[in-house]
Amino acid sequence: MTLALERLTASEARALRVLLFDLDDTLLDGTRLTEEAYGSLFRLRESGLRLVAVTGRPSGWAEVLVRQWPIDGVIAENGAIAWRSSSGRVELQDPRAAVRAEVRLELRRVVERISSELPELCPADDVHARLTDFTFDVGEHERAPDAVVRRAESLARSLGARTVRSSVHLHVSLDGADKASGAVRFLGRNLGLDPGLCRHVAGFVGDSENDAACFAAFATTFAVANLRGRPTVSPRYVTRAPRGAGFAELTRTLVHLRGNQW
């Protein structure tokens, strides 16, 4: 059962070392970053939390964000790849770097087949910045009929690919990671947290069904009020406000319970 954010206890808030967060419609209002939401990152950092974004957005976005935001890293492309910030430098972390060129070539064949059979599907406008997947715009600037999206998902699976559908995109990939496995890998490699410990010291906040893996993987999870769909595991808490305002609401609650006022 999902609880109101007011039910979060000080002991649970203080146990967190890391906050993982989705971008679109969680921190961002659509794709717009408000001053309130951006300022929240600084307040969370000041409260002692390590911050890592976990998103379906591309590697190219992730590199820019990790260079400019007060965060430790960005896990991008639904867990397949990550960028880390450390000592003023950034590092790309791709667990399949040795075979990435071959995988991209095979993915291109899959996408060409999907596009030839479903020409009404349009690529996302950030697809050029991606390394591990190909993304169709199904709800950001374009509105793809649900039946067409389901056909694309079925065709991709028949060709050996996997799909992830978010509130705005359909991702097609030959990588097996999801947001949760990518997050656990990042936390182990960069923060020295083993998978069992991650569950209890890393919290996650998201807004849609493609965040379900993280809602299941971590014990302290949050959704902003605009939570969409029916994730297989529900988040533990939900904010009253949607999107960036909900993220700011969560920030105020965490900072207060962890003993920092602002």
Per residue in 47-96, pLDDT tens? 999 999 999 999 999 999 999 999 999 999 999 999 999 888 999 999 99
Spatial distance between the Cα atoms of 198 and 194, rounded to a whole number of angstroms: 6
- What is the count of structural domains for the chain? 2
**Residues 9, 87 share a domain:** yes
In this structure, the number of other CB atoms found within 10 A of the CB of residue 125 comes to: 12
Q: Determine the pLDDT at residue 210.
A: 83
The mean per-residue pLDDT over the stretch 127-146 comes to 96
Domain stops at, among 114, 148, 173? 173
In a domain, 144, yes or no: yes
- Whether residues 75 and 201 share a domain: the answer is yes
Query: Are 22 and 211 contacting, i.e. CB atoms less than 8 angstroms apart?
Result: yes
pLDDT value of position 260 = 67
Query: Strand pairing partners for 27?
Result: none
Tens digit of each residue's pLDDT (9 = 90 or more) over 210-220: 899 999 999 99
Same domain as 47, residue 163: no
Position 228 in a domain: yes
Q: In the predicted model, is pLDDT for residue 195 greater than 80? A: yes
Could you tell me if 81 and 116 lie in one domain? no
Confirm whether 213 is domain-assigned.
Answer: yes
pLDDT at residue 67 in the model: 96
**What pLDDT is stored for residue 255 in this prediction?**
98
Question: How far out from the chain centre does Cα 80 lie?
Answer: 11
> Which of 150, 173, 196 is the C-terminal boundary of a domain?
173
Alpha carbon distance 73, 145 (integer Å):
35
| pLDDT of 261 strictly over 80 | no
Is the pTM of the predicted complex or chain greater than 0.85?
Answer: yes
The pLDDT, as a whole number, for residue 232 is 87
Has residue 129 been placed in a domain?
yes
Q: Report if residue 223 sits inside a domain.
A: yes
Residue 262 lies in a domain: no
pLDDT recorded at residue 230: 83
Regarding whether 181 and 83 lie in a shared domain, the answer is: yes
What is the domain-level CATH number for residue 106?
3.90.1070.10
Greater model confidence, 228 or 103: 103
In this structure, the answer to whether residues 65 and 11 fall within a common structural domain is yes
184 with 75, same domain: the answer is yes
Which of 173, 197, 217 is the C-terminal boundary of a domain? 173
3-class SS of residue 99:
helix
Residue 191 has pLDDT above 90, yes or no: yes
Residues 225, 159, single domain; the answer is: no
Q: What is the pLDDT of residue 231?
A: 85
Is residue 148's pLDDT more than 80? yes
Identity (one letter) of the amino acid at 93? Q
Instruction: Reduce the DSSP state of residue 133 to 3 states and report it.
Output: strand
The parent domain of residue 40 ranges over 3-94+177-257
Residues 2-44: pLDDT tens digits? 999 999 999 999 999 999 999 999 999 988 999 999 999 999 9
Cα separation values, 200 from 4, 50, 145, 185, 193, Å: 20, 14, 40, 15, 10
Domain shared by 82 and 147, yes or no = no
Q: Residue 135: what pLDDT? A: 97
Give me the pLDDT at residue 98, please: 98
pLDDT the model gives residue 31: 84
Q: Are residues 111 and 90 in the same domain?
A: no
CATH number at residue 73: 3.40.50.1000
pLDDT band at 173 (very low <50, low <70, confident <90, very high): very high
Within this chain, do residues 37 and 158 fall inside the same structural domain, yes or no? Answer: no
Is residue 138 included in any domain, yes or no? yes
- The CB-side HSE value for 59 (13 A sphere, CA atoms) comes to 17
Q: What angle do the packed helices 100-117 and 146-158 form, to 10 degrees?
A: 130
> Is the same domain home to 68 and 196?
yes
Spatial contact of 31 and 247, defined as CB atoms under 8 Å apart: no
pLDDT tens column, 89-129: 999 999 999 999 999 999 999 999 999 999 999 999 999 99
| Domain assignment of residue 64, yes or no | yes
